Chains A and B, each alone.
Chain A
Amino acid sequence: MTVIHDMDDKAEAKMRARDVSVYYGDKKAIDDVSIDIPTKYVTAFIGPSGCGKSTFLRTLNRMNDTIASARVEGNIELDGENIYSSGMDVVQLRARVGMVFQKPNPFPKSIYDNIAYGPKIHGIASGKSELDEIVERSLQRAGLWNEVKDRLGESGTALSGGQQQRLCIARAIAVDPEVILMDEPASALDPIATAKIEELIDDLAGRYAIVIVTHSMQQAARVSHRTAFFHLGKMVEYGPTDQIFTNPLEERTKDYITGRYG
């Protein structure tokens, strides 16, 4: 594993994974991965299909807990606190580490209620007007406000695919997370909607730590500051995006990036 930390290391690590392995039953899907996720930057996970990107991403907010056969070994810290320790409240953790999925999954509720969902369950808003404010702010940050401000009562599922995905991002933002995990957030979208999502990720980068899984090299190159290349459950190389794409140190990374890998 090659890890380079020569980019501006003013970026302190928001999350720190050490020797993480994940098993599905007896099968090892992630093998001994260690990585630092910097705060206020975008980190991209790339790698061939089935190499374990989603699996590793899900360990970061313990969504693997919902898979009965999944088992995680190793250490993952959020601001120095082990998220797999018995003292960690998963509900609290997921409020701090939000997630956006590959397929937009708005709840079959109104646009307003989709956004208000998180703040309500976490008791963030103290009243209706504060809730309204959060909804507006979240939609604005997700770049969706102008498109939906007159139809907040309509069902979230009635939006277009790209709008739905931005709604899901807005929903994640609404609880004011510190980290946002995105698993191929644009893979189900057309190029225009994709461009909007990328723009949005760019906007959000200064505020949150963002981790994005993507199959598109161009997307990784465009939006991320750091890139990690995964292969067969191992993290092969991790470093500044520019360097990974122009001058990878590992042969396998180079093969994958230049498309020589299957």
Chain B
Amino acid sequence: MSPAFLFLIALGLGLAGWLAGRAKARAFSRAAAPREVVARPGYHAWYVAIWVAVPLALFAVLWSVLSPILIEQWVLATPAGQNLPEFGFQRQTILAEAQAVARGSAAAVFTPQARDLVEPFREATLFYTLIGVGFGIAMAAILGLWAYSRIKPAFGARVRVERAVMALLLLASLVAILTTFGILASLVFETVRFFGMVSPVDFLFGTSWNPDPMSSPTAPQGDRYGAIPLFWGTIFIGAIIAMIVAIPLGMMSAIYLTQYASPRWRKIIKPALEILAGVPTVVYGYFAALTVAPMIRDAAQAVGITNASSESALAAGLVMGVMIIPFVSSMADDSIAAVPGSMRDGSLAMGATKSETIKKVLIPAALPGIVGGVMLAVSRAIGETMIVVMAASTAANLSANPLEAMTTVTVQIVALLTGEGSFDHPATLSAFALGFVLFMVTLALNFIALRVVKRFREAYE
């Protein structure tokens, strides 16, 4: 209860500091000449409030980590605590039970040994809560008084408060970045474990993918973990078939929208296209699996290809391409629209036709932006899961025939992690290695794409 309690105290004291600071600042602002006071009363108020509340809140976080450790040490130091069994698991159960009773979240103890520990737990908790609250309040009071004493007409509270605001914003933006690193770290950890069992060479260059979660985990078979068929399937579906659909259609719709459509028509079509991007991918998955895949199989059989699979790479790729169209078209649209109108006029004034102007001036000028958009789209396509899970198969074929069943990295990750295997079996761990590779590839693609787009933007600044 103590961290939440400390937070409440921080809020309350902060408010008190804010009111006190404002009262003082108002008093001296009224007395002083207008130019003498560097900051308005609100800034002085925030200055005091920040010094009261922020250190206290930080202390609350620290204390919530520290106090359980201190409490446990206190308990272990009592005679009853020293009699606890050594074996980790049992020891932990007893401690947890005693603590639960002490906190009031459990009614009575089951293990006799825990009974003697309840009282020490109560004492320790009370003691450290008092210490934490006492220390917190004292610290807040001292800092608050110090801050309060500093505010005077000539004090630059505004600058300092602005700096604090900036620090807060910086912190907020760091959260996303730190999360990325957290994800990466957890992936790396499991990946390293996997590569302890299967050699990276087997994994990256092997051509046969056939992990067996039921095999003995101590004798991993490296030749079952060749991920090339997965990489190929991913590239073939996401970067080749999908892009063959998405790039021309996306480009053409962008050209139509920027160059030919009347403003009114554009206002209708553009949002409609963007709705495509909002359709849940699982819906595309249904469409691919239930409509497109059988259609392709029937069409293939109609022209005499008898071994066409009902789960073809083509079906997944086509539908994925449709899904990606809005990404390509909206990036291309932005890039073409960003080419200055004077460029287009220059070309038209030379007697170029509209399509010559588009082909020879607008698209070359917008190309970096378009390429960037396509790369973002590729990275989106190869990370896409639902469509391929539903429409592609789990058979790891290494083939260039789009009618054949194929599988992708993401499909395998899902299959491996939802399977029966235990979490330290190489078959399960290989999912993390796959995820790691996917992460690195999409990261690299996004990185390059953003740089390309950025350079393009600068060119027309």
For the complex with contacts A91-B353, A105-B340, 11 further pairs of A-B residues with Cβ separation under 8 Å are A66-B344, A66-B345, A92-B351, A101-B342, A105-B343, A108-B364, A117-B352, A121-B351, A121-B352, A121-B356, A175-B350
Q: Give the total number of A-B pairs whose CB atoms are below 8 A apart.
A: 68
A residues 54-100 with Cβ under 8 Å of B?
61, 63, 66, 68, 90-95, 98-99
Measured between beta carbons, the chain B residues less than 8 angstroms from A108 are: 343, 364-365, 459
* Cross-chain contact B347 with A117 (CB below 8 angstroms): yes
Residues of chain A within 8 A of B346, CB atoms compared: 101, 105-107, 168, 171
A103 / chain B contacts, CB cutoff of 8 Å: 342
Chain B, residues 350-361, CB within 8 Å of chain A (1/0): the string is 111100100011
Q: B365 to A94, Cβ gap below 8 A?
A: no
B349 touches A63 (CB 8 A): yes
- List B contacts of A95 (CB < 8 A): 350-351
**Cα-based distance from A93 to B350 in the complex (angstroms):** 10
- A contact residues around B352 at 8 Å (CB): 91, 117-118, 121
Find out whether the CB atom of B345 lies under 8 angstroms from the CB atom of A117.
no
**B348 CB-CB contact with A under 8 Å:** yes
Closest to A96 in B: B351
CB neighbors of A among B356-407 (8 A): 356, 360-361, 364-365
Binding site for A on B (CB under 8 A): 262-263, 340, 342-353, 356, 360-361, 364-365, 459
Chain A residues bordering chain B, tally (CB within 8 A): 28
Q: Which one of A61, A106, A122 contacts B349 once the chains associate, using CB atoms below 8 Å? A: A61
B263 to chain A: closest residue by CB: A68
Which chain A residue lies CB-closest to B349? Answer: A99
Known: A103-B342, A107-B361, A121-B360. A98 touches B262 (CB 8 A): no
In chain A, what residue has the closest Cβ to B340?
A: A105
Complex: A95 Cα to B349 Cα, angstroms: 8
Q: Report yes or no: B349 in contact with A117, Cβ–Cβ below 8 A.
A: no
Which chain A residues lie closer than 8 Å to B351 at the CB level?
Answer: 90-95, 118, 121-122, 175
CA distance A101 to B459 in the complex (A): 20
* Cβ contacts under 8 Å, B347 to chain A: 107, 117
Residue A209 lies at the interface, judged by CB distance under 8 Å to chain B: no
B436 CB, nearest partner CB in chain A, Å: 39
Q: Which residues of A contact B361 (CB under 8 A)?
A: 107
CB of A98 within 8 A of CB of B350, answer: yes
Roughly how many angstroms separate A105 CA and B263 CA in the complex, as a whole number?
25
Interface mask (A113-130 → B, CB under 8 Å = 1, otherwise 0): 000011001100000000
- Residue contact A66 to B348, C-beta cutoff 8 Å: yes
Q: Which of A63, A106, A118, A171 contacts B345 (CB 8 A)?
A: A63
* 17 residue pairs bridging A and B, Cβ less than 8 Å apart: A63-B345, A63-B349, A94-B348, A95-B351, A101-B349, A107-B347, A108-B459, A109-B364, A117-B350, A117-B352, A118-B350, A121-B356, A157-B459, A168-B346, A171-B346, A171-B350, A172-B350
The reply to whether B349 and A94 form a contact with Cβ atoms under 8 Å apart is yes
Q: How far is the CA of A92 from the CA of B459 in the complex (A)?
A: 32
Interface residues of A in 130-187 (CB under 8 A from B): 157, 168, 171-172, 175
Contacts of A93 in B (CB 8 A): 351
B414 CB to nearest A CB, Å: 45
